[in-house]
Amino acid sequence: MSHLKDIQSYDELTHKQWIALGTKCGGLGNVKGVLSGEKEVLVRDVAVESIRLFDKNGRRIPPHNLRANVCDPNRNFHIVQPNIVLADRFNRLVETLGIESQGCSIGMSGLDFEKEVALTKDVFKANELLKTLGEGYPILLPQMDLTADYGTILETTVLPAVKRAYTKEFKKFMGGRKFANYRNGDLAGKVTIIEGVRHERIIERLKHGPVIGLCFPVALQGYSVQAQREQMATLPEQFSLAGVETLFAAMMYPDVMARDYNTPGYDLSALQWQELDCSLDFWALDDRLEFDARALLGHAYGHCSGGLLFVRPR
């Protein structure tokens, strides 16, 4: 009886509708190929396709109701995806930061790191909406307590480690490159987390152990800091807006993120420095890497980007 119902439901289509369906399949040749088993039809949900989150270059497509400013990315400022050897990147972090360094604990082996990255990638690849985002940069955030004084940890531990990683990477380049921290001595007690960007979840997890994630440092290129924060409401829950994460990406991938002048500037948009209208950022030049404050949070720059971090649920 159910078979008869199926036949009757197919009979509801008119001759013109069958022709239209055949046309959408690419014509009579394709239809015959499907019927003979030589070809197959792939059916996709149009609703899912219409809410793509990232374009073919891995940049966040601005939500239609976004209020804050966004401009086109300046593609002269870009990063080049390297051939990532996880063991090498893990060892860079260990050598730069140290296994135990002023309140930071890496807390795992290189093999553990590789296993966690693989599990995270499995979760990431399972989401069809993220297929155009790209590979991302696997990073390890060591266990640390940033809730007491975020600025002090940046000043005493994280930024000195970025300096070591950067100057070591480019020590033979034109006599060596320099790291300039223009906020040196001016961070303790002055750095807080912006609400609603999910960064506080990462900070809470870091109190109990290291966090492994995929960092996408240029996914928001051309977004003002305010737009970077606003668009978080329409991203999957596994994403958070980056603060200290971008600095650890720079620690593990200095050759990529601080290659030269034509790498983008990086906003630490999950963070507030001093007042609501100030954040923090850093950018590379041909001879140095600079860390400073970022004002004009509503202005969009085509050469700047905030970072996104993807982590798998616990």
Buried b (16+ CB within 10 A) or exposed e, 231-256: bbeebeebbbbbbbbbbbbbbbbbeb
- The arithmetic mean of pLDDT across residues 29-38, rounded, is 72
Distance, CA of 252 to CA of 254 (rounded, Å) = 6
**Across all residues in the chain, what is the average pLDDT?**
89
33/204: higher pLDDT? 204
Residues 158 and 192: their CA atoms lie apart, in Å, by: 16
pLDDT at 212 over 80: yes
Classified as helix, coil or strand, 273 is strand
Q: What is the pLDDT of residue 178?
A: 95
Residue 110 scores a pLDDT above 90: yes
C-alpha span between 217 and 34 (Å, rounded)? 43
Give the whole-angstrom CA distance, residue 248 versus residue 29: 54
H or E, element range at 167: helix 159-169
Is the pLDDT at 125 greater than 90? The verdict is: yes
Q: List the structure tokens of 257.
A: 């993120």
Q: What pLDDT was estimated at residue 33?
A: 64
Please report, rounded to a whole number, the percentage of residues in the chain having pLDDT higher than 70: 87
Banded pLDDT at 37 (limits 50, 70, 90) = low
Q: How far apart are CA 143 and CA 121, in angstroms?
A: 21
pLDDT computed for residue 237 by the predictor = 95
E strand or H helix that includes residue 214: strand 211-216
- Sheet of 308-310, strand order: 137-141, 211-216, 308-310, 239-241
Between the ranges 88-102, 174-188, 246-260, where is the mean pLDDT highest?
246-260
According to the model, what pLDDT value does residue 2 have?
Answer: 45
pLDDT of residue 274: 92
| Beta carbons within 10 angstroms of residue 82's beta carbon | 12
Question: Which residues does 84 contact at the CB level (< 8 Å), separation at least 6?
Answer: 135, 137, 138
| Beta carbons of 210 and 306 less than 8 angstroms apart | no
pLDDT band of residue 38 (cuts 50, 70, 90) is low
Q: Is the pLDDT of residue 42 over 70?
A: no
pLDDT of residue 138: 98
Which pLDDT score is estimated for 194?
A: 96
Model-level pTM?
Answer: 0.82
Query: Higher-confidence residue: 26 or 92?
Result: 92
